[in-house]
């Protein structure tokens, strides 16, 4: 136990200690919101100073933060960072987003429905652990349409041609996105055991099958593997993410649970537990932090408040409302991450002001606004549709309003009176006072809900509700859930599974 002494200067809970001391080669750590997952992993690494440990980070910002916390025997890297060094460097000259128009040129088609289907098939392949593109990567929901079923084989073949062009280093016309070289690296079946003894796989509930497969490979190579996460915080199913915590190769892993949160108090934990109750979770999240007040609105005299929105549109709309008060606004992830310039370019295109468009690729792809709208409609591209909504809602005032947003944006959150974020970007973060916006607009007890979509929305609410430390102002959707919980608890309604939950995944 000599190696365990270095971690003793840190104070750990009775839930964290067993995980830190574990001698198991494969460990699964289930950590509810705010329960000290990172602290536990840091303690685990400190307890093994001679081990070469890889902390596989969820994204670049997590990597930067992790380097400030972990000891020197830990290498903090994203999977893309590892893949870029091994494979991505030779594609530097053609790295970039693969647009619908790039795909159309690559497969020589003006059929936008077909182009969109090729894009979806490719994305499904890139996110998968599969070696070759097959019919099983074709969007499953489209197979319900007879016409699309007949076209499926040709779409898969077109996707294979597209992928070949992406992988060709001499083909400069067809870009390869970052997920492309990650896929190529994974296909090479890298053996990280030559460099590391243990890999820590964080946010395992939200990784794609490519990375999940990489972790499974390292376990097969004999490495120690610690996977951690919280299935209730799975937010990126729409990007092809899977909950790797349920992977078959983890069936015999040693399991540890973290359920005690010091971020918030009992009231906030109770709200979170109400959400989790309807998902079938029977373990209780304990709020051991300072008392957290639950309200419908945040107090008006706060020096700083955080507003969490469901959508990017919601964030921009909240910003437009607050900027009129002169508020200094901090945008989580940076203001440019919310596509303001792209929206300004699209606005200029809609007005015929071609000389004002800064992103010239927009003009190359779409000669006029009507064609942009036609492509958006035919391809059902959600980002394009969302952009059209903002441009048409705010009309000619959009450039002036956006200029004001930029003037009032700050990069130091301490200078802001308002922080804005989507709930997706808020995962892993916390604030003293949080307001949930009203754009979480789904009916939690609608019997026609799609089971997977319902789970995704409930997860998003759970994440949003667990960001506040002192005051949580809930929205109308959370109020509906709270009332339903109380009605069932008090016997006014039967506490039975929801009709659409028959296909819902079992809770941890």
Q: Scanning the structure block, which residue is given the tokens 């440019």?
A: 336
Identify the CA nearest to 437 among candidates 302, 336, 319, 331. 319
Is 75 marked within a binding site?
A: no
Structure tokens at 268: 């906030």
Is 38 marked within a binding site?
A: yes
Contact status, residue 460 vs residue 288, Cβ threshold 8 Å: no
User: Strand, coil or helix: what is 108?
Assistant: coil
Q: Report the interhelical angle of 451-465 vs 266-278 (nearest 10°).
A: 180
Is 419 marked within a binding site?
A: no
Identify the CA nearest to 74 among candidates 36, 38, 45, 47. 45
Is 35 marked within a binding site?
A: yes
Q: What is the dihedral of CA 169, 172, 175, 180, to 10 degrees?
A: 0
Instruction: State the DSSP string of 450-479.
Output: -HHHHHHHHHHHHHHHTSEEEEEE--HHHH
Is 37 marked within a binding site?
A: yes
Give the CA distances from residue 195 to residues 75, 211, 218, 419, in Å, rounded to whole numbers and listed in that order.
10, 18, 11, 41
Contact status, residue 121 vs residue 159, Cβ threshold 8 Å: yes
Distance from C-alpha of 166 to C-alpha of 106, rounded to nearest angstrom: 9
DSSP label at 176? B
Distance from C-alpha of 384 to C-alpha of 119, rounded to nearest angstrom: 15
Contact status, residue 467 vs residue 422, Cβ threshold 8 Å: no
Q: Scanning the structure block, which residue is given the tokens 């197979």?
A: 143
Is 333 marked within a binding site?
A: no
Cβ partners under 8 Å of residue 5, min gap 6: none
Distance from C-alpha of 506 to C-alpha of 508, rounded to nearest angstrom: 7
Is 33 marked within a binding site?
A: yes
Is 31 marked within a binding site?
A: yes
Known binding-site residues for ATP equal 31-38
Known binding-site residues equal 31-38
């Amino acid at each position: 136990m000599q190696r365990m002494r270095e971690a003793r200067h840190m104070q750990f809970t009775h839930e964290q200690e067993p995980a830190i001391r574990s001698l198991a080669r494969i460990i699964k750590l289930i950590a509810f919101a705010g329960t000290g997952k990172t602290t536990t992993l840091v303690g685990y690494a400190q307890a093994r100073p001679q081990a070469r440990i890889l902390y596989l980070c969820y994204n670049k910002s997590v990597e930067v933060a992790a380097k400030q916390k972990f000891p020197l025997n830990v290498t903090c890297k994203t999977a893309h960072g590892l893949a870029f060094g091994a494979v991505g460097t030779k594609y530097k000259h053609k790295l970039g987003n693969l647009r619908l128009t790039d795909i159309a040129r690559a497969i020589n088609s003006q059929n936008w429905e077909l182009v969109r289907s090729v894009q979806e098939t490719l994305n499904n392949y890139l996110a998968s652990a599969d070696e070759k593109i097959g019919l099983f990567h074709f969007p499953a929901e489209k197979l319900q349409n007879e016409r699309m079923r007949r076209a499926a084989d040709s779409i898969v073949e077109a996707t294979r041609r597209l992928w070949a062009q992406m992988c060709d280093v001499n083909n400069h016309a067809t870009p390869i996105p970052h997920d492309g070289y990650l896929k190529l690296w994974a296909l090479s079946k890298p053996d990280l055991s030559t460099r590391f003894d243990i890999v820590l796989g964080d946010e395992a509930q939200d990784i794609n099958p490519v990375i999940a497969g990489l972790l499974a490979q390292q376990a097969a190579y004999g490495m120690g593997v610690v996977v951690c996460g919280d299935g209730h915080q799975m937010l990126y199913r729409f990007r092809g993410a899977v909950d790797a915590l349920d992977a078959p190769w983890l069936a015999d892993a040693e399991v540890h649970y973290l359920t005690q949160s010091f971020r918030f108090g009992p009231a906030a934990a109770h709200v979170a537990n109400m959400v989790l109750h309807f998902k079938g979770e029977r373990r209780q999240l304990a709020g051991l932090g300072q008392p957290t007040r639950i309200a419908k609105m945040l107090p008006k005299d706060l020096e700083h408040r955080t507003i969490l929105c469901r959508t990017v549109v919601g964030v921009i709309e909240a910003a437009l409302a607050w900027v009129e008060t002169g508020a200094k606004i901090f945008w989580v992830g940076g203001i440019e991450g919310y596509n303001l310039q792209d929206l300004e370019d699209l606005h200029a295109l809609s007005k015929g002001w071609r000389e004002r468009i800064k992103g010239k690729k927009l003009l190359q792809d779409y000669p006029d606004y009507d064609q942009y709208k036609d492509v958006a409609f035919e391809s059902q591209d959600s980002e394009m549709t969302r952009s059209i909504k903002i441009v048409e809602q705010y009309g000619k005032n959009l450039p002036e309003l956006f200029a004001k947003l930029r003037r009032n944006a700050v990069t130091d959150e301490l200078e802001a009176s308002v922080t804005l974020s989507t709930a997706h970007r808020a995962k892993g973060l916390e604030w003293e006072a949080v307001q949930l916006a009203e754009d979480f607009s789904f009916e939690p007890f609608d019997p026609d809900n799609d089971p997977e979509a319902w789970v995704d929305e409930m997860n998003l609410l759970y994440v949003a509700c667990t960001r506040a430390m002192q005051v949580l102002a809930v929205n109308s959707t959370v109020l509906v859930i709270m009332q339903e919980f109380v009605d069932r608890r008090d016997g006014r309604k039967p506490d039975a599974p929801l009709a659409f939950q028959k296909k819902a995944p079992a809770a941890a």
